[in-house]
Structures are given as C-alpha cells and as structure tokens.
Amino acid sequence: MMGQKLREVQMKLMRSLLDFVVLQFLRDHPMHGYEIISSLRKNFGVYFGPSTIYPLLCILEEKGYIKSQWNLENGRPRKVYNITPQGADLLNCTEESLTQIYRKLTAGSSKLLLNDDRPSALLNSLRLRRTEL
C-alpha cells in the first residue's frame, strides 16, 4: 500500500516538473525525443510517451527555452534539441526555487512562516487534520 502511494506521489511530481527535467537532460547534452523518453524511464522509472514528450518539446521551443535542428547522420533523420541561454536561466531559477522549498519543508513546519511571522492557514489546517486522525 505504501509503495503504491509513493509511486503516485512520484508520478505527480514528475508530471509537474517534466519540463524542468527535460531542460536538465538537455543541459547535459543535446538529445532527440526518443532519447529523452528513454532517459526518463531509465533515470526515474516512469514512462512518458511521444504524445506527451513531443508537444512539450514544441512548447519549450516556442517559448525559446530550447532549439532544435535536424541531424541527418546515421541514415535516419532525427530532430535534436539543445537548451538555449533562456532555458538555462529558467532551469537555474527553478533549481533555486526547489532548493528553497525543500529547505523550508525539511526545516519543519514550525519554520514555515509568513512575512508577519504568523503560521499560514494551510499549516494550521494541516495541524488540525493531523490531530483529528
């Protein structure tokens, strides 16, 4: 049961962060779509098919975060994707934001305070639910 819930959480996070994971892959080296699909499965144990990956690549390219070019070597034409400076900037900002969120979460819920030092309504709600269970 716990394994299933963990898997659900991992899939939800992967869906939410998929564009940033793709940018991270492309920061390491240029890749074609199938290579991205394979890397996701190999590194995270999740499968996102062509109907998810290729539209995402198109959106990232339209926004200027990646660029593509055709590679005609090896007998089969493949569209190879590279991260742009704008994509690298977005990835850096995302990494900083995720690091801050992680630090706050691991510091304990009592450290998550609003600017006026009052615990957020969300935390109060979570505390109430925990005591109800």
The answer to whether the pTM exceeds 0.85 is no
Give residue 48's domain range.
Answer: 2-108
pLDDT in tens, 44-74: 989 999 999 999 999 999 999 999 999 988 8
**How many structural domains compose the chain?**
1
Q: Is residue 117 included in any domain, yes or no? A: no
Q: Is residue 116 included in any domain, yes or no? A: no
DSSP character string of 26-60: HHHS-EEHHHHHHHHHHHHS----HHHHHHHHHHH
Q: What is the CATH number of the domain that holds 41?
A: 1.10.10.10
Residues of the chain short of pLDDT 50, as ranges, are: 114-133
Copy the structure tokens of residue 82. 């590279």
Q: Is residue 115 included in any domain, yes or no? A: no
- Say which amino acid occupies 78: R
Q: Is residue 99 included in any domain, yes or no? A: yes
φ and ψ at residue 116, rounded to 5 degrees: -90, 15
Q: Is residue 124 included in any domain, yes or no? A: no
